[in-house]
Amino acid sequence: MAYFSTFFMQKHSVLSLFLPLSIAFLTSCEKVLDIDLKDAEPRLIVEANVSDQPGPHTVQLSQSVSFNATNQFPAVSNALVIISDNAGQRDTLTETSPGNYQTGNLQGIPGRQYFLQIKVGEELYEASSQMPQPVAIQKVQIEKFRFNEDEKVTAVYYQDPAGIRNYYRFLLFVNNVPSKNLNLNNDEFQDGQLMDDTLFDNDLKLKSGDSVRVLLRNLDEPAFKNFRAQNQLGNSQVSSPANPESNISNGALGYFSAHTQSSGSIVVP
């Protein structure tokens, strides 16, 4: 499964159920929902994404388990999953494998509001997400790690749009292997500036000849808060376990993200 299900698997197996994310650009004191996993009823876990890139776009559905259960999160099949927008597009997703649903003809358009409806049995879950305008990667380059010049890191440069709050997530791939780190940033203190972010993964150390690819996603605020909460829960400074806040109704866990995406790549010299 993707990041959110991985978070639950790790939290269950190490008591705190912390997501194994080693790099976090941001931390926060925002309150998130606490649940007692030993006594909690199973809850729907949603990982839903729509972007401005060619589809299909995907929704993954699974179910949380109690603390004493095994580290297996059942896929939720036979759900009715619909994504629509405020311009009249509507797509009923097809289940392509257990718990994995894909769009058919839906096209993500920046600036539009997207709506998610999921019906599982008699339970209805809903969410919405505003797709921001795209922010382009201007340059990807390899630099020396400032704390260890023998190590190399990936630097990403991009121009933040002025006067608009922007929330960013970065996905790093080295030789097509994705980093498990969840890299986030926003423009709270750098509005309208040329931004640069450094991406580093101890498990994917760079060497000459490696192929590096970076995806820059511009998120809306609710999706950003969910990913930021996952980073908080992977931070040893957090005193008590909690579940990342969700923008999905009816007590579901997870997120619905309508985002734009740009990419850049480089070969390590």
Mind listing the pLDDT tens digit for each residue in 183-198? 999 999 999 999 999 9
Residue 167's nearest CA partner among 245, 226, 109, 252 is: 226
Residue 35's nearest CA partner among 2, 69, 67 is: 67
Q: Which fold has domain 137-221+261-267?
A: Immunoglobulin-like (2.60.40)
- Please give the pLDDT value at position 77: 97
Per-residue pLDDT tens for 103-135? 999 999 999 999 999 999 999 999 999 999 999
Mean pLDDT computed over 28-38: 43
pLDDT at 4 over 70: no
Which residue would you say has higher pLDDT here, 33 or 205?
205
pLDDT at 33 over 80: no
d(C-alpha 51, C-alpha 131), whole Å: 8
Residue 24's nearest CA partner among 222, 219, 220, 238 is: 238
d(C-alpha 122, C-alpha 165), whole Å: 38
- Please give the pLDDT value at position 19: 37
Confidence of residue 230 (pLDDT cuts 50, 70, 90): confident
Stretch (H or E) spanning 13? helix 3-13
- Please give the pLDDT value at position 71: 58
Distances (CA, A) of 90 to 99, 255, 261: 20, 19, 22
- Please give the pLDDT value at position 60: 97
Domain boundaries, the chain: 25-132+237-259, 137-221+261-267
Which residue would you say has higher pLDDT here, 147 or 39?
147
Per-residue pLDDT tens for 147-202? 777 899 999 999 999 999 999 999 999 999 999 999 999 999 999 999 999 999 99
- By DSSP bridging, strand 148-159 and strand 137-145 are antiparallel
Distances (CA, A) of 175 to 117, 213, 217, 264: 36, 8, 20, 14
- Which distant-in-sequence residues (6+ apart) come within 8 Å of 27 by Cβ? 231, 232, 235, 237
The amino acid occupying position 77 is S
Residue 153's nearest CA partner among 185, 196, 184, 199 is: 199
pLDDT at 267 over 70: yes
According to the CATH classification, is domain 25-132+237-259 in 2.60.40?
yes
pLDDT at 27 over 80: no
